[in-house]
Amino acid sequence: MKRIDGGLFCLLCLTLMAAPWQKLGAQDRARIMETDTVTHSLIKQLRETTSEIFHDPAPPRFVMMDKSEKFLFGMGGYVSCYTYYDGTGFLSRELATVLLPTEASSLRSGRFNIDASGSRIFFKLIGDTRLGKLQAYIEGGFSAQGNTFSLKHAYVEIRHLLIGQTWSNIMDLKAAPATVDGAGPGGMNGLRQPQFRYGWRFSNGINCFASLEDPEVTMLSGLLTGVEDVHIMGQRFPDVIVSLGYERARWHLRLAGVLRFLEKQRGYGLAFSGHADLTPRDVFMFQATAGAGIGHYIQDLGGMGYDVYINSKGLFDKFRVLGYYAAYEHHWNEKCFSGLVYSQAYVMPFEGAPGFVYHHTNYVALNTFRQFYDHGQLGIEAAFGSRMNLDESQGYTWRLNFMVRYNF
């Protein structure tokens, strides 16, 4: 993973913050506004373009607008303190069920951890141009090894075109459940990657998007060497993803398809998802993804070697995979809600597969979130995860998660 030097990043932040302040004093070309109290079309656009993913930041509390009132710039993020107790001593910060050990060890025991590396910071510019509405966005965190800076989003969107890194077109942002655990359901499509995307939103609720996205193909080296390492392979063309959605006031449905140009073959898959407001306080969400050679697009399998393998004839073949989740939320009031999530990821066995190959995982989470003050949030969660291999060896863990977050 590429790293960005912390000192250089801080210098960049200070430069971006200092420039507007200098202009305010010298030329009175911009003014600071509070997003909670001021009504303006650009602030409305700022809220509408905010991601609906739970772990993505809320709109900034303060923004700067130029004198023409055509451009708005904001910097924000959140400070997050994540605490968990793992009942089996599983070492991963996030409950990634694919990494669960399947062999017993007397050296593992309960583990307590406090972590603040999930905190985020972002810069956002929106405006009206001759070509249409413009949005430029950069977001990062400190979750890379050694708490170094890691890029989450970096893109420019103008009118119908988006260029840069953000959530994949296969992912349904409206159907993603909230979890204290940063990994979330193993069967979902939680993937950010560089892309070119073009799309339309029509007034009748229909939307359609097409994208060319950065490909990553991985294979288990252990199928050749007996060592469970991951081999990254090249791909000549980008992945092609097309999505079609239909939105109504209380529900929506979405269908997405992906085509991959793997080594001497094609990978393909479909993702079907949606949500429904069962009552004003009860929400149901779901997603199911299935295909061949698309392990990259399933949370638990991405980057873990479950795209392609070499079959008994010595030829490349594709892993057949399935991932799904279902989630329910009950909103007790405007500031408090509880959720229940179940998810499974599954890999179809193939002839001659060694016993250590992944067969399926399960993920369950029960949580409650409570807003405090105007910009703070508490979350508590009980989570369980398990993994089973083809030789029926299995491992599991359970966790108690707690989160305190403050948005700025």
Model confidence pLDDT, tens digit, residues 65-93: 888 888 999 999 999 999 999 999 888 88
Chain mean position to CA 391 = 31
Lowest mean pLDDT among 28-37, 41-50, 141-150, 327-336: 28-37
| Residues 379/57, Cβ–Cβ less than 8 Å | no
Domains of the chain by range and CATH?
6-407 (2.40.160.10)
> What confidence score (pLDDT) does residue 38 get?
62
Percent of the chain with pLDDT over 90: 65
Q: How many CA atoms lie within 13 A of 96 on its CB side?
A: 15
> What confidence score (pLDDT) does residue 341 get?
98
> What confidence score (pLDDT) does residue 230 get?
84
SS3 23: helix
Q: What is the mean pLDDT of residues 140-150?
A: 86
Residue 249 Rama label (left phi>0; alpha psi -120 to 50; beta): alpha
Give the dihedral sign, CA 340/343/273/150: positive
Which two three-digit tokens encode residue 60?
């900034």
Residue 20 has pLDDT above 70, yes or no: no
Q: Give 14's pLDDT tier (boundaries 50, 70, 90).
A: very low
Q: Per-residue pLDDT tens for 257-285?
A: 999 998 778 999 999 999 999 999 999 99
> What confidence score (pLDDT) does residue 268 get?
97
> What confidence score (pLDDT) does residue 21 get?
40
CA pair distance 48, 130, nearest whole angstrom: 20
Q: Give 307's pLDDT tier (boundaries 50, 70, 90).
A: very high
> What confidence score (pLDDT) does residue 211 get?
98
Q: Per-residue pLDDT tens for 191-226?
A: 999 999 999 999 899 999 999 999 999 988 766 554
Q: What is the mean pLDDT of residues 323-334?
A: 97
| Residues 229/212, Cβ–Cβ less than 8 Å | no
Q: What is the mean pLDDT of residues 239-264?
A: 95
Residue 353 has pLDDT above 90, yes or no: no
Q: What is the DSSP letter of 96?
A: -
Listed ranges 34-48, 146-160, 167-181; the one with the highest mean pLDDT: 167-181
SS3 11: helix
Which two three-digit tokens encode residue 207?
């939307």
Question: Angle CA(376)–CA(152)–CA(359) in degrees, nearest 5?
Answer: 100
CB atoms inside a 10 Å sphere around CB 1 = 7
Q: Give 143's pLDDT tier (boundaries 50, 70, 90).
A: confident
> What confidence score (pLDDT) does residue 190 get?
85
> What confidence score (pLDDT) does residue 264 get?
79
Residue 15 has pLDDT above 70, yes or no: no
Listed ranges 220-234, 300-314, 320-334; the one with the highest mean pLDDT: 320-334
C-alpha distance from residue 129 to each of 70, 135, 154, 157, 159 (Å): 8, 10, 20, 12, 9
118 Cβ contact list (under 8 Å, min separation 6): 55, 80, 82, 141, 143, 182
Listed ranges 30-34, 188-192, 322-326; the one with the highest mean pLDDT: 322-326
Residue 12 has pLDDT above 60, yes or no: no
Q: What is the mean pLDDT of residues 7-17?
A: 46
Percent of the chain with pLDDT over 70: 88
Q: What is the mean pLDDT of residues 107-125?
A: 90
Residue 373 has pLDDT above 50, yes or no: yes
> What confidence score (pLDDT) does residue 228 get?
58
- 19 or 235: which leads in pLDDT: 235
Average pLDDT, the chain: 88
Beta bridge partners of 171: none
